[in-house]
């Protein structure tokens, strides 16, 4: 199958930021996934370079528009390779071929009778470069920029968009997955059904704006920037004229939610008027927020993707973006949350797995893969889980559910760590059970190769290095996924392995954001998820008992007995447990501390425990912390946990203790 994917073309009136990077990284992940899945792939990105805002930005710099867009477009083009993004094609709307395609499209729609000349008065937002109706304004302000638009009356050309709205409504009903996630299709449908949509003004008089593409039927006007920009998706693959257009169209688009309307309403009606097929999917993602606000230069909360990639590595940064944001929803970006995710998922889970297994293979087997012996039920259970995890991962990635897909893969990663603990290769070696040791190492290495390959779309360099460390003959290439998912075959005996692995070193949280810890969305809050990257925890992070050889994190701070007496640590029984409805890493527990009521405590252990298995267990908790609200729920204490090779574990007692028993 041919797979054509586009990002938005980015407006070059300002430097690239995290939102641009996220869109393009997601597109790169989608391209790599579809390549593994056997598709012939073409990924398009580029820059949008016409309109009022470009002229104003160039004037502010004392530059001509063309010189300005040349410089700014180069910044976008140069950024993508530094983030390990592989782009097949980069388009600029100032390209001559694009201009010809836009004029051909305009002429085709004009010849169909769908463009007319008329006079119009409306509220014009220069930030959005579009007219708003009274109903669309919020308290008289532009809903995007929260500024008061200027009322402008002028003669312009209009596209008969209203003519195609009944068809568009029917199309969205017949193709329920044409816009993903579903809530954005419903939002687009609501726009169509509202009765507020009018014909689209598609020109600007040259008396007001000259920086644009001339209308082919009236050189006194230039094309509206959105009508011009959308056509890039087909001009980049040779329309009109066949060629790649006939091979790759229809494709699918990836956009942020703020440009839903142009892509869900304008673009399909334009294509219908021109007699062209509509895209397969419009994939819509949410905003990355900083301090709960959309990023903007004026608020001073813009995150530099290049800085994050340099500081933590591109693979870790890419993983965080895909894992932290549930595609379609908003997510908070916090450097403390990034560090926490790196330490918990990459260092503790994945990195620990690779280093443990390869180090044991070096000590016990001379870094040479042994033959596989008899597979016991607990070994085939790992093979079955690997198959299930991979199938879930693939289905979720196809449906742009990346966070859930990675979680499905991490179910396997965590299971492999637990399998290592339970099978204890060190004990098998000591007891001389070489055949059983060979089987256990075979199971681990076979599953680890699959994990490494499935990490490749998100973490290309790290995944390639993992495969190299495994001595794997599998290469990420077109169609590899089906071969790897097909079986749980014996890992080739005699393969030479790396003696160890240190792909994901633990990170320290930035000083400015060291406490309190972040919850699943990066939003700060007390009593939050365990923070494996911080020394000493701090109020708001679940404290850990850390082994003294754990990368230096066993450092202690002297305290007196009087300091310890200030801590009200008690034993309680969990009576109910469930996942937090708004934070995927938090569990909500109701715990009996013998107080005549149940305390609600939130804890970031959802990745380590099934809530159903916790009911009836006794835990230790620190109770004399002030109540804190976390994602609309109040936590009245902090359960204590310990962290080791097996992951995060709840602190408990070795026998029944009356609820409310004091730890002293």
Q: How far apart are CA 304 and CA 293, in angstroms?
A: 16
Q: Catalytic residue among 171, 294, 461, 535, which?
A: 294
Question: Catalytic annotation on 123?
Answer: no
- Look at the chain and count its residues: 664
Tokens, residue 210 = 């000259």
Residue 111's CB is within 10 A of a number of other CB atoms, namely 11
Tokens, residue 286 = 């949410």
Q: Catalytic residue among 56, 66, 297, 629, which?
A: 297
Q: What is the DSSP string of 525-577?
A: -SSBS--TT-SS--TTB------TTSTTTT------HHHHHT--EEEEEEEEE
Q: How far apart are CA 409 and CA 450, in angstroms?
A: 10
Question: Catalytic annotation on 171?
Answer: no
Instruction: List all residues 6 or more positions away from 664 whose beta carbon is below 8 Å from its beta carbon.
Output: none
Backbone phi and psi for residue 222, each to the nearest 5 degrees, phi listed first: -110, 160
Look at the alpha carbons of 643, 646, 649, 655 in this order and tell me if their dihedral is positive or negative: negative
- Name the H helices within 327-459: 335-341, 352-365, 377-398, 402-423, 425-431, 434-455
Tokens, residue 662 = 């004091």
Question: Catalytic annotation on 20?
Answer: yes
Which residue shows structure tokens 């008329």?
A: 118
Q: How far apart are CA 27 and CA 22, in angstroms?
A: 8
Pairing of strands 587-592, 598-603: antiparallel
Q: How far apart are CA 362 and CA 249, in angstroms?
A: 51
Q: Catalytic residue among 56, 66, 145, 186, which?
A: 145
Pairing of strands 598-603, 40-48: unpaired
Tokens, residue 461 = 């360099």
Question: Catalytic annotation on 34?
Answer: no
Q: Catalytic residue among 41, 53, 99, 142, which?
A: 142
Instruction: List all residues 6 or more positions away from 652 whose beta carbon is below 8 Å from its beta carbon.
Output: 617, 618, 619, 620
Question: Catalytic annotation on 142?
Answer: yes
CA-nearest of 279, 99, 311 to 172 is 279
Question: Catalytic annotation on 99?
Answer: no
Tokens, residue 198 = 């009018």
Do residues 279 and 250 make contact, with C-beta atoms less than 8 angstroms apart?
yes
Question: Catalytic annotation on 110?
Answer: no
Contacts 24+ apart (CB under 8 A), 105-108: 105/231, 105/234, 105/239, 105/270, 105/274, 106/202, 106/215, 106/216, 106/217, 106/223, 106/227, 107/216, 107/217, 108/274, 108/275
Look at the alpha carbons of 95, 96, 97, 103 in this order and tell me if their dihedral is positive or negative: positive
Start-to-end CA distance of the chain, whole Å, equals 66
Distances (CA, A) of 601 to 35, 462, 511, 573, 638: 45, 37, 27, 12, 6
Q: Catalytic residue among 41, 125, 201, 223, which?
A: 125
Backbone phi and psi for residue 132, each to the nearest 5 degrees, phi listed first: -120, 145
Do residues 321 and 33 make contact, with C-beta atoms less than 8 angstroms apart?
no
Question: Catalytic annotation on 125?
Answer: yes
Which residues are catalytic, by number? 17, 20, 125, 128, 142, 145, 294, 297
């Amino acid at each position: 199958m041919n797979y054509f994917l586009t990002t938005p073309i980015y407006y070059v009136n300002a430097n690239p930021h995290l939102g641009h990077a996220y869109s393009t990284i997601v597109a790169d992940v989608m391209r790599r996934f579809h390549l593994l899945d056997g598709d012939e792939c073409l990924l398009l990105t580029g820059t949008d370079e016409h309109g009022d805002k470009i002229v104003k930005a160039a004037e502010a710099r004392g530059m001509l528009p063309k010189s300005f867009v040349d410089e700014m477009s180069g910044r976008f083009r140069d950024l993508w390779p530094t983030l390990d993004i592989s782009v097949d094609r980069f388009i600029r709307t100032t390209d001559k071929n694009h201009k010809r395609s836009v004029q051909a499209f305009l002429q085709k729609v004009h010849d169909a009778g769908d463009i007319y000349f008329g006079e119009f008065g409306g509220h014009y937002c220069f930030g959005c470069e579009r007219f708003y109706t009274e109903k669309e304004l919020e308290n008289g302000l532009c809903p995007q920029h929260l500024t008061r638009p200027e009322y402008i009356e002028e003669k312009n050309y209009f596209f008969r968009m209203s003519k195609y709205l009944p068809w568009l409504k029917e199309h969205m009903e017949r193709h329920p997955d044409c816009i993903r996630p579903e809530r954005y299709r419903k939002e687009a449908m609501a726009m169509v059904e509202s009765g507020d949509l009018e014909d689209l003004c598609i020109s600007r008089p040259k008396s007001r704006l000259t920086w644009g593409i001339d209308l082919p039927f009236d050189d006194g006007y230039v094309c509206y920037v959105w009508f011009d920009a959308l056509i890039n998706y087909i001009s980049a693959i040779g329309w009109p004229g066949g060629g790649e257009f006939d091979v790759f169209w229809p494709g699918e688009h990836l956009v942020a939610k703020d440009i839903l309307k142009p892509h869900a309403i304008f673009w399909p009606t334009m294509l219908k008027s021109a007699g062209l097929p509509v895209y397969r999917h419009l994939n819509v993602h949410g905003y990355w927020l900083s301090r709960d606000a959309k990023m903007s230069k004026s608020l001073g909360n813009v995150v530099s993707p290049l800085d994050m990639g340099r500081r933590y590595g591109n693979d870790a940064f890419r993983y965080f973006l895909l894992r932290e944001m549930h595609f379609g929803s908003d997510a908070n970006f916090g450097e403390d949350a990034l560090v926490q995710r790196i330490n918990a998922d990459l260092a503790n889970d994945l990195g620990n797995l690779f280093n443990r297994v390869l180090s044991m293979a070096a000590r016990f087997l001379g870094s040479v893969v042994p033959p596989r012996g008899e597979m016991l039920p607990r070994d085939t259970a790992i093979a079955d889980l690997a198959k299930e995890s991979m199938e879930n991962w693939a289905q979720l990635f196809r449906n742009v559910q990346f966070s859930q897909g990675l979680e499905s893969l991490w179910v396997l990663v965590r299971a492999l760590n637990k399998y290592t603990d339970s099978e204890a290769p060190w004990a098998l070696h000591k007891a001389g059970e070489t055949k059983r040791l060979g089987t256990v190492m075979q199971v681990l290495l076979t599953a680890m190769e699959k994990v490494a390959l499935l990490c490749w779309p998100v973490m290309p360099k790290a995944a390639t290095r993992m495969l190299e460390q495994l001595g794997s003959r599998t290469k990420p290439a077109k169609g590899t996924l089906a071969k790897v998912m097909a079986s749980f075959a014996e890992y080739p005996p005699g393969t030479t392995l790396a003696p160890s692995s240190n792909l994901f070193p633990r990170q320290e949280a930035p000083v400015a954001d060291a406490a309190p810890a972040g919850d699943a969305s990066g939003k700060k809050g007390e009593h939050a998820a365990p923070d494996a990257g911080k020394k000493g925890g701090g109020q708001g992070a679940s404290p850990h008992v850390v082994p003294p050889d754990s990368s230096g994190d066993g450092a202690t701070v002297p305290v007196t007995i009087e300091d310890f007496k200030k801590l009200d640590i008690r034993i309680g029984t969990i009576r109910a447990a469930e996942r937090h409805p708004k934070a995927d890493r938090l569990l909500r527990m109701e715990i009996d501390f013998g107080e005549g009521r149940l305390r609600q405590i939130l804890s970031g252990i959802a990745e380590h425990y099934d809530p159903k298995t916790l009911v009836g267990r006794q835990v230790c908790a620190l109770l004399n912390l002030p109540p804190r609200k976390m994602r609309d729920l109040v936590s009245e204490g902090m359960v204590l946990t310990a962290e080791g090779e097996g992951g995060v574990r709840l602190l408990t007692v070795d026998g029944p203790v009356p609820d409310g028993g004091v730890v002293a």
